[in-house]
Amino acid sequence: MEFKAFGKLNIFLKILSRDERGYHSLVSRFCLVKGICDDIFIKEADRFSLFGDFSCPIEDNLITKAIKALKNRLPLKEAGLLDCLKIQVDKKIPEGGGLGGGSSNAGNILYHLNKEYFGLPDEIMFEICKEVGADVSFFYSQALSANVSGIGEVIEEFVEPILEFEVFTPDVYCNTREVYNAFDNLSKSDKGCIDYDIKKWEKESSLQILNSYNREELNDLLKPALNLYPTLKGIEQKLGDEWFFSGSGASFFRLKI
C-alpha cells in the first residue's frame, strides 16, 4: 500500500475545561490541508519494522501505539499479520508545527489497514483511535473538514467548500504538552473562551469564521505558545492580520488568494 497522510489546520480552537485526569475538553474546526503530507509505504515482511525520520523512539511513536492497539482488538490469527509489516514514512510534515503529522500517520494507517485486511466496524476503530491519541480520530475519519470536540475524539463532519491555504512553519518546535500547561497557568481573564459564541462557529463555514475574527480570538493556545517561545513571538509580531495560528503551533496559515 502507498498513500498520503495529509496535515490539518485548526480554523478555531477553544479550550472549555480540564478534567481530573488532566485532559482538556475542547471544540475546534479541523480542515485537511492538501499541500502538506507525509508519504507512507506498507508491505508485508518477515517481521514488523518502522522507518522514518522521527524525533521520538520507535516504541513511543503513535504508529507503534496504533499497531499495538489494533492488534489487541483482533483475533490471534489476524493479529499476527501486524507482526509482519514493514512501514516506511517519508516525513514532510514539520514536527511540533501544530499540523498533526504524527496523528495523521497513525489515523491513516489504521484506516488503510482496516480497509485492506480486517473490516472492523468504525465504532471499534474510533475506540482504538481514542486510545492512541487525541487527534487520531479525525484523520481516521477521512473527513476534509469537521467540528472536533471532547478531547479530540468526537468528530462531526462539516461539509463546506474546500479552501486553499498558504502555510508558514517557523523553525520553532512547539511542545504540545508544555503549551497546554502554559494555557492552564494563564489567568481566567486571559483564557476568555466564554466570550465567544462557539455554537455559532460550529455552524458557520471556515471562510466566514476566518473573515470575522483574528488569530488571538480564534485560538486559545496562541497566547501561551508565544509566552513560552520568545522566538515565535518575535515572528508573530511581524505577521499581518491575515495570518492565523494552528493547534499548539508553531505553524501560521492564511487563505490563498
Catalytic residue IDs: 8, 135
Cα 225 to its chain centre, rounded Å, is: 17
DSSP string covering the chain: -EEEEEEEEEEEEEEEEE-TTSPEEEEEEEEEEEEEEEEEEEEE-SS-EEEE--SS-GGGSHHHHHHHHHHTTS-HHHHGGGGGEEEEEE--SPTTSSS-HHHHHHHHHHHHHIIIII---HHHHHHHHHHH-TTHHHHHHT-SEEEEEETTTEEEE---PPP-EEEE--S----HHHHHHHHHTS-HHHH-GGGS-HHHHHHS-HHHHHTT--HHHHBTTHHHHHHH-HHHHHHHTTS-TT-EE-TTSS-EEEE--
217 neighbors 196 (Cβ within 8 angstroms): yes
From CA 169, how far away is CA 94, in angstroms rounded? 8
Q: Given CA atoms 57, 58, 59, 64 in this order, what sign does their dihedral have? A: positive
